[in-house]
Structure 1
Amino acid sequence: MNRAAIIVAGGRGARMGSPIPKQYLEIGGKPVLMWTLEVFYQLDPSIKLVLVIPEVDFSFWQELCQQFGFTVPHEVVAGGMSRFQSVKNGLNSISWKDGLVAIHDGVRPFVSPEVISLGYDKAAEYGSAIAVTPLKDSIRKLTDENKSFYQERQYFRLVQTPQTFDLKMIKQAFDVTELHHFTDDATVFEHQGRQVYLIAGNYENIKITTPEDMEYAQFLLHRRKGD
């Protein structure tokens, strides 16, 4: 079955406090985004990689690829004004009628190959596969009256990417007007009345957003080299 991965990297890095968007910052000697693309390519070189970035970044990304000798095959697609529109543009660039597609945040370079592979396997079986992890901390629910209430954490999960889908189903799901509660691809899929299937993610699969995340990313790379 055809397999694709849409890597979405449209952030401008406001919380990082850097003039360079976070996806282009270096960790371990190369930009974050290159690490992310390599995980999918090293798992299976036949996976069609679609990189969605702002169109204004095209030339900058090309310069980075030349500078770092980055040769992983991928197609570059222009992002939209929102994540929803960016993913939709990525989906529209895939001409296949049937297949599987993993949608992944470009600033999650530490997703494990096992999670990616499991996502494709379960999406082929159930139509979707959403990577999640259990909560480690206690949680409380806030109210508009400035009160809070204890919640049973075993009933909640932290949502990661990749979120993997049957291609035909997810294209159909994105063929709608964008709504405010579309916080990720799973919520778009659910809007069609479908149930999402959850799979175990990996705790190292952090979304690099702040300077502290960059420090932890360096630690993860150092530990990986040690292993």
Structure 2
Amino acid sequence: MKMRNYAIILASGEGSRMGNGFPKQFMDLKGRPVLFHTIEKFSQVKHLEIILVLRLVHTTLWNDLCFKYSFSVPHKICIGGNTRPQSVKKGLALCKKGSIIAIHDGVRPLVSTKLINKIYTLAKTHDAVVPALPCRDSVRLFNSKKNLPLNRNEVFMIQTPQCFKSETIFEAYNNIQIDDFTDDASIVQKSGVSIFLTEGEKENIKITFPEDLKIANCLI
């Protein structure tokens, strides 16, 4: 019997940094909403259940978009929380033990099926798997007390999907103050689990600002 895998796709952001008040996950990318592209990539993975995390106020919009574009990829809808970690926790509540769970930003539509499959495969032998790319630019640590150069050879840009054995991430989310973190690997690492880094993809960009959407339209 095949192990049930899950993909929690986070799409409960407000898109405030796009500057137009419209959530970026629903914006047009090559004629269709960004989220359609993201979900379709995961739908190509076998034995996978997709959980889409939305804000309650966006559910009607989502249903209207699915009807308009005849989007029929099977998925469950979960209402998110007030923060990213709280939204993840809501999605985790729909996952069963003995599974492998990937968590992905809904606004990373250019992720490849090859990377997704690699992440799930590695998670069979590692508790936590995260795609990352080495930093190509010079990097500095800057705050009110410090302004120091960092060794860029020791700095990596973290991506999603981040993949975990279910027991690993369940334990972390149940025992750590989750709202202090910006990604799931950091929460899991805080619980004492080592993070396995694997090579990510340059095209796997996160659509955050208007220029990112322009780049995605060129790359897709």
Q: TM-score, normalised by structure 1?
A: 0.92
**Which residues of 2 match residues 147-162 of structure 1 at below 5 A?**
148-162=147-161
Correspondent of 1:24 among 26, 30, 35: 26
Q: Which residue of 1 aligns with 2:80?
A: 79
CA distance in 1: counterparts of 2:67 and 2:138, whole angstroms: 46
**Which residues of 2 match residues 187-198 of structure 1 at below 5 A?**
187-198=186-197
Structure 1 position 63 matched with structure 2 position 64? yes
CA distance in 2: counterparts of 1:22 and 1:130, whole angstroms: 24
SS at match of 2:18: coil
Deviation string 1:76-118 (CA, Å, 9 cap, x unpaired) is 0000010011000000012x22110100000000112121111
Structure 2 counterpart of 1:110, one-letter code: L
Structure 2 counterpart of 1:173, one-letter code: A
CA contact (8 A) 1:103 1:164 kept: yes
Q: Which residue of 2 aligns with 1:164?
A: 163
CA distance in 1: counterparts of 2:178 and 2:93, whole angstroms: 19
Task: Assess, with a 3 A threshold, how the Cα gap between structure 1 residues 162 and 99 changes in structure 2: closer, same or farther.
Answer: same
Task: Assess, with a 3 A threshold, how the Cα gap between structure 1 residues 31 and 97 changes in structure 2: closer, same or farther.
Answer: same
**Residue-pair matches, total:** 218
- Percent identity reads 39
Deviation string 1:3-28 (CA, Å, 9 cap, x unpaired) is 11000011111110123200000110
Tell me the C-alpha RMSD between the 2 structures: 1.3
Q: Which residue of 1 aligns with 2:53?
A: 52
Task: Assess, with a 3 A threshold, how the Cα gap between structure 1 residues 143 and 21 changes in structure 2: closer, same or farther.
Answer: closer
Per-residue deviation at 1:178? 3.0
SS at match of 1:72: coil
Structure 1 position 131 matched with structure 2 position 131? yes
Q: Which residue of 1 aligns with 2:90?
A: 89
Q: Which residue of 1 aligns with 2:8?
A: 6
CA distance in 1: counterparts of 2:21 and 2:194, whole angstroms: 40
CA contact (8 A) 1:84 1:178 kept: no
Q: TM-score, normalised by structure 2?
A: 0.95
CA contact (8 A) 2:119 2:163 kept: yes
Structure 1 position 112 matched with structure 2 position 112? yes
CA distance in 1: counterparts of 2:37 and 2:203, whole angstroms: 14
Task: In structure 1, list runs of 5 or more residues that go unmatched.
Answer: 222-227
SS at match of 1:102: strand
